Structure 1
């Protein structure tokens, strides 16, 4: 258990308003920042004189920092103080946002985005851990985690719109100054949070932390770089390094008395549900939706702001659905609702197949709405399962593991969707055909994820 007492159902915990509002605001900012370059990639690339390979890193570098740091930071927060790590994440996000805002070259910008990813990991993992430590299991936690999950959808909706609007009004760098100011505000607001940590810290697992972080970083880097050639020696070397490091991490954790990640959790169906559900969400939902706004611009000729507004049908419905997920009957297990969310996302993606250069944007509105509703339901349930599937004093670690799977899946999803969509060429008709194939593959994967979630939810 944690040093912050667990409240009874229905009991209001002192400081609970801040314990929900501050992590929710942090998640909103982190996701807005994560998606901001989607709408301004052309302007950013031009401003930094970035070539084809560099453009890939401009978009994907933040995923490297996120995926590599989430689990490690979540575990550190449980042992050394969630508020302390949260505040450190806010400071790091402010500094790295300034670096991005003033970056003279693409490598400097990419470095800033990687640090932004690690800083965002601190906000995401500890924020959900703070919520779990404040709200006991039951309806109040379900409401709180639903609001936290809703911020994922809202951040995805607002990020491209805000960055595109600021770019149109001035310069693409303006968003990063806004992100820096928001991060400073979060750091100040964190002073209102109560500190929470495990009663019995496990100590710093340096070998596990190093091998896991470096292994995940190598894997995400290989996936990102692989988009320009999967058989390049550097890409293959990164995949090999990832395999060795992650195998070493597994061996280290299996032998430690108090590991950073208790491998025994993998025998829990609820933990497997949290990890697999997040992985499928990243792979089959975030991957294809991250690419769709760009496709609307390239194939249909929509402006960047118009494309972001169309995509907001999906992300906006995700936000609304996640907020309302707490109204679902309590007798329905979170695992079954997660499966239903993934199935609904799949139905929406099936409905979006049929892109052609002469199509109208409203042709995709029903599919975007269905997929958005499914994504919102899945996000709310994933947030709940992430903290309910681990011991109470490891809530931030559970959040970190869940989000690691989500953003690792998103990295793979973006790479696979990009490869399929551009496989027949860059002409609008060829890109439209490739996108339809990618949408079909994503829908099938989402359906398989829904079936897996249902099996894990009902099995023993």
Structure 2
């Protein structure tokens, strides 16, 4: 009689947490790397203003288009398998960025990076949901996962600015390529496979309609800054509308839908998804332009602008793990609403920054917005997992992150449009400063409105009683 070797569950749990957090950190470092070097990359690859917008937002195309796809694949075919594939693909795409001879090749490589990042994020959070049961330990794990979002955003711009100073911008992408392949190898050796208990079929129609619809939508939002009535922008908007309507119809009939539309009836799922969308559109979209603004308006170097930007992201990184202390005292949706409200107050504090301002005048607003982002990131990660059934945790994380990165594309396009339409005066620096003031007003309004909406999405008392009775 043979016995199976004992499995060290604690070792698997620790490895899953470490690998998932490392992946999120790496994804966000890569996501934010071009923020302070976009003008350098654009000049070397001969891209215009529109090309620079694509350099900033192209990774969001892949993220928004493939997060739900990755979540569905992870739940149905194996979260470890999808995670490892994402790590390998991110390594290859990062090498393609480093070798890109033109802006078009760089942008296409960033789209592929987005798809690979989607696999790492959706499968990684799904793996956490599998090994950590609901309770304080899961709250701690998702809090650390949320902290990695702030950590990656803190490190990414400084990382790329430093490497550009000692070598050139391509070195950052070679290092990301190497780290991605190392992460894939670590995951392959250490992670335990998990999937939904019921075998799922690939929702090919859902993949094609959602992926195509979101890709056309992000393309329209990015190109729209040059004029919303241009023929190709209108074609992209029309194609996005047709494909997204088709996606909704397909999912209603699919035996194994990529997105279970029944989840939309859950207030907690709606709160998590709405919070993520507003975080991307109102917070990430605006903050993406802060390093560019302080370079152009205050005359800071790329490295100095990255360090100043790190005030916002660094505070977010420090606050997110502490948000677990609110668990059991404040509902997750109220934590998200409070975080968004703090972000709005921080953005309002940035109004009026101009060419005569000192860099330290930005610090109070960045600290407030950073604290709000940390609370929101931690509670969004937890609610994304808690608001769906256990066999759909990767779907829940995919939907949540899809909303976040689709929102960031909307936010980047919105800020670009505000910068274009804002009243000028005082030369290029003065015009940019005026545009950022208007962008701060618009973004703050969206953050506060989002906080109100999320706070209002409460579970009806009767439904809550039924859920409590069922769990008992």
Output the TM-score relative to the length of structure 2: 0.93
Is the contact made by 2:419 and 2:435 (CA closer than 8 Å) also made in structure 1? yes
Give 1:104 deviation, angstroms.
1.1
Q: Which runs of 5+ in 2 are unaligned?
A: 1-7, 462-472
Match of 2:257 among 252, 256, 259: 259
* Corresponding residue of 1:444: 445
* Corresponding residue of 2:402: 404
Distance 1:292 1:195, change over 3 A: same
Is the contact made by 1:82 and 1:126 (CA closer than 8 Å) also made in structure 2? yes
Partners of 2:56 and 2:285 in 1: how far apart? 12
* Corresponding residue of 2:132: 135
Partners of 1:201 and 1:135 in 2: how far apart? 22
Partners of 1:98 and 1:38 in 2: how far apart? 19
Match of 1:298 among 279, 296, 314: 296
Give 1:364 deviation, angstroms.
1.1
Partners of 2:357 and 2:295 in 1: how far apart? 12
Q: Deviation digits for residues 263-321 of structure 1, max 9, x if unmatched? A: 11111001101110000001110011011110111111111111111111100000001
* Corresponding residue of 1:92: 89
| 1:175 and 2:176 are equivalent in the alignment | no
Match of 1:216 among 179, 198, 214: 214
Give 1:347 deviation, angstroms.
1.0
Give 1:125 deviation, angstroms.
0.6
Partners of 2:459 and 2:435 in 1: how far apart? 37
Q: Deviation digits for residues 97-149 of structure 1, max 9, x if unmatched? A: 11111111111111111100100000011110000001000000000000000
Give 1:212 deviation, angstroms.
0.8
Partners of 2:67 and 2:437 in 1: how far apart? 33
* Corresponding residue of 2:434: 433
1:80-119 to structure 2, matched below 5 A, reads 80-119=77-116
Is the contact made by 2:130 and 2:194 (CA closer than 8 Å) also made in structure 1? yes
| Secondary structure, counterpart of 1:422 in structure 2 | helix
* Corresponding residue of 1:206: 204
Is the contact made by 1:13 and 1:135 (CA closer than 8 Å) also made in structure 2? no
Partners of 1:119 and 1:228 in 2: how far apart? 29
Match of 2:70 among 69, 73, 76: 73
| Secondary structure, counterpart of 2:152 in structure 1 | helix
CA RMSD in angstroms, aligned pairs only = 1.3
Is the contact made by 1:70 and 1:401 (CA closer than 8 Å) also made in structure 2? yes
Partners of 2:459 and 2:339 in 1: how far apart? 16
* Corresponding residue of 1:5: none
Q: Deviation digits for residues 327-385 of structure 1, max 9, x if unmatched? A: 22523211111111111111111111111110001011011001100000000000001
Is the contact made by 1:336 and 1:457 (CA closer than 8 Å) also made in structure 2? no
Deviates more, 1:316-325 or 1:255-264: 255-264
Instruction: Count residues in correspondence.
Output: 450
* Corresponding residue of 2:323: 325
Distance 1:150 1:457, change over 3 A: farther
Give 1:459 deviation, angstroms.
4.9
Distance 1:282 1:459, change over 3 A: farther
Is the contact made by 2:97 and 2:109 (CA closer than 8 Å) also made in structure 1? yes
| Secondary structure, counterpart of 2:239 in structure 1 | helix
* Corresponding residue of 1:48: 45
* Corresponding residue of 1:233: 231
Partners of 2:238 and 2:47 in 1: how far apart? 28
* Corresponding residue of 1:273: 271
Q: Deviation digits for residues 127-172 of structure 1, max 9, x if unmatched? A: 1000000100000000000000011111111101000100010011
1:324-363 to structure 2, matched below 5 A, reads 324-363=322-361
Match of 1:150 among 126, 147, 152: 147
| 1:391 and 2:395 are equivalent in the alignment | no
Q: Which runs of 5+ in 1 are unaligned?
A: 1-10
Give 1:422 deviation, angstroms.
3.1
Is the contact made by 2:139 and 2:327 (CA closer than 8 Å) also made in structure 1? no
| Secondary structure, counterpart of 2:352 in structure 1 | coil
| Secondary structure, counterpart of 2:98 in structure 1 | helix
| Secondary structure, counterpart of 2:289 in structure 1 | helix
Partners of 2:88 and 2:342 in 1: how far apart? 38
Distance 1:376 1:12, change over 3 A: farther
| 1:184 and 2:185 are equivalent in the alignment | no
Give 1:33 deviation, angstroms.
0.4
Output the TM-score relative to the length of structure 1: 0.96
Partners of 1:125 and 1:32 in 2: how far apart? 17
Partners of 2:367 and 2:18 in 1: how far apart? 27
Partners of 1:127 and 1:114 in 2: how far apart? 20
Partners of 2:323 and 2:107 in 1: how far apart? 37
Is the contact made by 2:285 and 2:412 (CA closer than 8 Å) also made in structure 1? yes
